[in-house]
């Protein structure tokens, strides 16, 4: 249906200009795609939902396929406005959208040559899937050629919109009915008890159900982390050591039924402030936020029944949501983040009580950030008191959702 809409649509110059300007900010100035899209959508109040959808989806699409489109257009970074118009022309031609005659806005763009180059370049994985050379090599080394090929292809697909029902306020069935009354159709997911997936993408944040705190947007894979921690009636104190804006923290609060205590820590105050706002909307009051301070950590050693380490990582498992990440990611950063991951494991594992359980999770699919980190920890002096109870690797091409990793360790 989406391709049909694109094929019969007429391009409007002000919308195309907004796309080109947005791509300039992302590619040449290194700005984050989500922030750029948010800013571009506010440029003209007269734009309707269809106009805004065109701008957002086109920017993300060209960002996702940057390398392939640039190769076809024969343009190189840093991209000029003329270069970006050529890349847009490639995008439009491959979508079977007629290019308008706007003077010299678009160079002569023969459809046959573009499609011929597309067919030729698509035979090479790193061009077909549009990734940097080093990342394609790394993925194949860590996962093997076949698994990497399948996973990389899945990571270039559009991510579905999945909601997590706030069971403190409503049930899955009631939320589904409520959203239907607001014109939003959803369906439940097998093996994800609190999840509803949107049938069609829409601005879910404008619904009354969202304002009332009846749900949070949270990918299905991310929804598996909190239950993996095995929360039960004996669990009184939980700490989310890298809480961010608190998606998993809020899920933990619902599993604890607003009882006990959850400490949510992060190094960024603004993220913790956002968590507080979300907690109020969700009707959650058993969360306490703390900025990470080394002295404070020492006082908390051995005091928690459960520890969640949702570690900073490469984010390769969520490229569908953040396609610009593959262009920002560098090999040196991966080396640094692996060091950070191990330091966090060594440091935050000390917060766990004897007999407690620690979950280490990432939104990466690389073994060097996941299983290998756990094994390195278990072989260390601090880790010798722990044992691996369970682990799970979630691949996008198998699940249909984000790539993720979880390991549950017991402090014996």
CA-CA distance, 84 to 90, in Å (whole number)? 10
CA-CA distance, 25 to 30, in Å (whole number)? 7
**Given a cut of 70, is residue 1 above it in pLDDT?**
no
What global pTM score does this model have? Answer: 0.95
Specify the CATH architecture of the domain 221-321+329-411.
3-Layer(aba) Sandwich (3.40)
Burial class for 200, CB neighbours closer than 10 Å (0-12, 13-18, 19+): exposed
Structure tokens that stand for 172 in this block = 């899955």
CA-CA distance, 168 to 258, in Å (whole number)? 8
Residue numbers in the known binding site are 266, 310
**Given a cut of 70, is residue 8 above it in pLDDT?**
no
> Which pLDDT tens digit goes with each residue over 346-394?
999 999 999 999 999 999 999 999 999 999 999 999 999 999 999 999 9
242 given a catalytic annotation = no
Residue numbers in the known binding site for S-adenosyl-L-methionine are 266, 310
Instruction: Kindly name the residue from 26, 184, 352, 363 that is annotated as catalytic.
Output: 363
- Residues, the chain: 412
* Domain extent listing, the chain: 13-130, 162-217, 221-321+329-411
- For the segment(s) 13-130, the CATH number from 1.10.1660, 1.10.940, 1.10.10, 3.30.360 is 1.10.940
Close Cβ partners of 376 (under 8 Å, ≥ 6 residues apart):
342
Which class in CATH covers the domain with range 162-217?
Answer: alpha beta
**Given a cut of 90, is residue 339 above it in pLDDT?**
yes
**Given a cut of 90, is residue 3 above it in pLDDT?**
no
The DSSP letter of residue 87 is H
CA-CA distance, 351 to 164, in Å (whole number)? 29
């Amino acid at each position: 249906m989406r391709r049909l809409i694109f094929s019969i649509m007429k391009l409007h110059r002000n919308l195309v200009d907004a796309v080109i300007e947005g791509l300039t900010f992302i590619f040449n100035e290194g700005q984050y795609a989500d922030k750029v899209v948010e800013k571009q959508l506010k440029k003209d109040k007269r734009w309707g939902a269809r106009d805004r959808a065109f701008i957002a989806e086109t920017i993300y699409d060209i960002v996702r396929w940057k390398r392939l489109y640039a190769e076809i257009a024969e343009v190189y970074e840093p991209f000029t406005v003329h270069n970006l118009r050529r890349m847009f022309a490639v995008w439009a031609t491959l979508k079977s959208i007629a290019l308008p005659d706007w003077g010299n806005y678009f160079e002569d763009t023969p459809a046959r040559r573009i499609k011929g180059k597309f067919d030729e370049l698509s035979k090479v994985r790193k061009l077909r899937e549009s990734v940097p050379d080093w990342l394609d090599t790394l993925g194949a080394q860590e996962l093997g050629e076949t698994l990497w090929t399948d996973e990389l292809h899945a990571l270039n697909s559009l991510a579905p919109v999945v909601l997590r029902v706030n069971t403190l306020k409503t049930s899955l069935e009631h939320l589904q009915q409520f959203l239907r009354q607001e014109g939003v159709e959803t369906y439940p997911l097998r093996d994800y008890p609190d999840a509803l997936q949107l049938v069609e993408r829409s601005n879910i944040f404008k619904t009354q159900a969202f304002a009332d705190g009846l749900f949070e947007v949270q990918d299905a894979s991310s929804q598996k982390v909190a239950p993996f921690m095995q929360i039960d009636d004996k669990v009184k104190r939980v700490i989310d050591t890298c809480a961010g804006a608190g998606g998993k923290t809020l899920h933990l609060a619902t599993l604890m039924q607003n009882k006990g205590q959850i400490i949510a820590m992060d190094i960024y105050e603004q993220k913790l402030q956002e968590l507080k706002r979300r907690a109020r909307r969700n009707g959650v009051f058993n969360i306490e936020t703390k900025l990470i301070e080394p002295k404070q950590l020492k006082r908390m050693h051995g005091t928690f029944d459960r520890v969640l380490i949702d570690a900073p990582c490469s984010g390769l498992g969520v490229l569908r949501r953040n396609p610009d990440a593959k262009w920002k990611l560098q090999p040196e950063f991966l080396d640094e983040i692996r060091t950070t991951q191990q330091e966090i494991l060594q440091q935050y594992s000390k917060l766990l009580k004897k007999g407690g359980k620690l979950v280490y999770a990432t939104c990466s699919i690389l073994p060097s950030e996941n299983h290998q980190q756990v094994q390195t920890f278990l072989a260390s002096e601090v880790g010798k008191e722990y044992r691996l109870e369970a682990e799970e690797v979630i691949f996008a091409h198998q699940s249909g959702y984000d790539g993720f990793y979880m390991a549950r360790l017991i402090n014996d």
